[in-house]
Homo-oligomer: A and B are copies of this chain.
């Protein structure tokens, strides 16, 4: 388990390397999260922002800017921007996901949370917008505007593509680009742009973030079925129960015979699930090699990410980004 030991993880090495920058990002986040007029806002955001998730996205922005030799102040603003957009997206996802989980029987409390989630999410979007305007870079604004549109389209697409067996891998790719990769690639790209990096490097950073985000999301979707070994543990099968079509099932559906197709239609499209259905679904995924093929896809995207880095300056930071790509898929490697 050596390479997965938390203190050796590439993520933590990056965090240590960028700790001064990261402290400034955290200070800026705390400052801009506050609202003079609406004290409820920090109440709602505090547990999300302060809890200090892995801060992977802002770290990508900082790493990209530093890798391209940036010496100015605005990578801090952009890192905070990216974290605010991410947090806003999580808040709005809550509304969408919670209502699915408790379909038809939400509580008053759930509704109050919904309101706060929608409005505080909007507030964080607007704060992120102010932060990026402060950088004075129209190109950065263009990248983040396009990323926002891709994120929003991906979310709507997921709403309609879930529970529909016609959802194929190309639709799945659009969904996960919106859900994950668009913000990853914007995070790395704006780091290069603010640093005034040559076009080739900016493109490479964009490609790296895109591939890293895709690998990250495919791994997540694979682990929801217990990884390539299909082991049933806790948190396994959530996507199946929520009838979300992800890569493993899409691959199994594509290879299904008539009887199997009827199974997927009943469980995913009609949502009529019974005891033992998850086990049967996982047996089908194994039978068609869907989990193994999904694992290969994730590893392929991690390779794509590493290849893109070839265009960037060699050194510690690039090595850490290379390791990060391996790390993202290590859970299923």
Contact = CB atoms under 8 A, between A and B. Distances in A.
A127 B152 CA distance: 9
A147 to B, nearest CB: 8
B114 A38 contact: no
A115 B103 contact: no
A216 B254 CA distance: 57
A37 interface: yes
Copy total for this chain? 2
Contacts of A36: 153
Interface stretch (A47-55, A134-142, A272-280): A134-142
A95 to B, nearest CB: 5
Contacts of A96: 115, 118-119
Output the residue of A96, A111, A136, A138 with the most chain B CB within 10 A.
A111
A270 interface: no
Contacts of A189: none
A304 interface: no
Given A138-B138, A151-B126, A104 B115 contact: no
A148 B125 contact: yes
A154 B35 CA distance: 10
A199 B118 CA distance: 36
A48 to B, nearest CB: 15
B149 A123 contact: yes
Contacts of A160: 38-40
Contacts of A37: 153-154, 157, 174
A146 interface: yes
**A interface, by DSSP: helix, strand, loop or mixed?**
helix
B103 A118 contact: no
B130 A149 contact: yes
B152 A119 contact: yes
A159 interface: yes
Interface residues of A, number: 51
A174 B38 CA distance: 10
A156 B35 contact: yes
A155 B119 contact: yes
A38 B129 contact: no
A114 B133 contact: no
A145 B118 contact: no
A133 B145 contact: yes
A151 B159 CA distance: 27
Contacts of A122: 92, 125, 148, 151-152, 155
A41 interface: yes
Interface in A73-131: 92, 95-96, 99-100, 103-104, 106-108, 111, 114-116, 118-120, 122-123, 125-127, 129-130
14 contacts: A37-B153, A41-B153, A92-B122, A95-B95, A96-B119, A115-B159, A118-B118, A119-B155, A122-B155, A123-B152, A125-B152, A126-B145, A129-B149, A138-B138
Given A37-B154, A129-B148, 12 more contacts: A37-B153, A37-B174, A40-B160, A95-B114, A95-B118, A99-B115, A100-B115, A116-B159, A122-B151, A123-B155, A129-B149, A133-B145
